[in-house]
Amino acid sequence: MRRRDLMGAMAACGLLAACGSEPGSSGTAGKGTNALRYKMTVEVDTPHGIKSGYAIRELTRRRPSDSLGIGQDRGSTKLRGDAVVVRLPENREVFALLIGASGDVNYSTQIIYWSELWGKPEGASLELYPAIPRMDSLDSGNALPMLVRFAVQHDPRTVEQLMPEDFERVFGAGVKLKRIAIGITADSVTNFLENKLEDLGTNKDESLDRDFRPTTRPTLAQRLGYNDFTREK
């Protein structure tokens, strides 16, 4: 794990441990744990109207023991939930992954802690696009998730990263990324991608390119995998 990833994860754990009651708490965490849920929403303008998708994710912090010594368990933070999928006209799709736009693997854990939402009640929200907040505590400082599409349906090797300015070029005139937002919620964790991942033939702990071989310059399909779309099912 990269040093910055490790530091981000440790900081997230520390913030959870410091709070006795979590915003958006699910109330289902076991003894010695805290849980909260948040919703990410993505909206896209199209000639056929606004198309949107959302995902609700849960973060669970398992607390360490009261007295710590060398080699003792220091607790952990786990993420459960999916990427966001927005279904566009002509059977096309956009995914907002669990990793950040610059590849930050802890993005979906860090974003809720380093945003202005921490400690706010259910229903509080923060816009990530078009007004992109600067979050220096994130690994890259970029508050956006990685956006991707598959150039060929059912072929995971054709995955392509999208920048907000790419939408009209890729999907046609009038198709533009409109809004990305996150908010605290107590609603149930969503599971919209199970069938999609089966269609792609992507299995747990596998990359999107199943013919992956070690290389110094991996493609996006070789870098991305099952855990970038869903975790802790």
Domain count across the chain: 1
Can you tell me whether residue 13 is helix, strand or coil? helix
DSSP state of 223: H
pLDDT, average across residues 45-62: 94
Residue 109, domain member (yes or no)? yes
Dihedral sign from CA coordinates of 98, 5, 25, 40: negative
Residue 222, domain member (yes or no)? yes
Query: What is the reported pLDDT for 19?
Result: 39
Q: Which of 67-71, 153-157, 182-186, 198-202 tops mean pLDDT? A: 182-186
- Which tens digit of pLDDT belongs to each residue from 66-118? 555 555 556 677 899 999 999 999 989 999 999 999 998 989 988 887 777 76
- Which tens digit of pLDDT belongs to each residue from 160-196? 999 999 999 999 999 999 999 999 999 999 988 877 7
What is the C-alpha to C-alpha distance for residues 140 and 157, in angstroms, rounded to an integer?
Answer: 26
pTM for the full model? 0.81
Residue 129, domain member (yes or no)? yes
Residue 208, domain member (yes or no)? yes
Residue 70, domain member (yes or no)? no
Is omega for the bond preceding 130 within 30 degrees of 0, making it cis? yes
Residue 8, domain member (yes or no)? yes
Q: Structural domain of residue 29, as residue ranges? A: 3-65+75-231
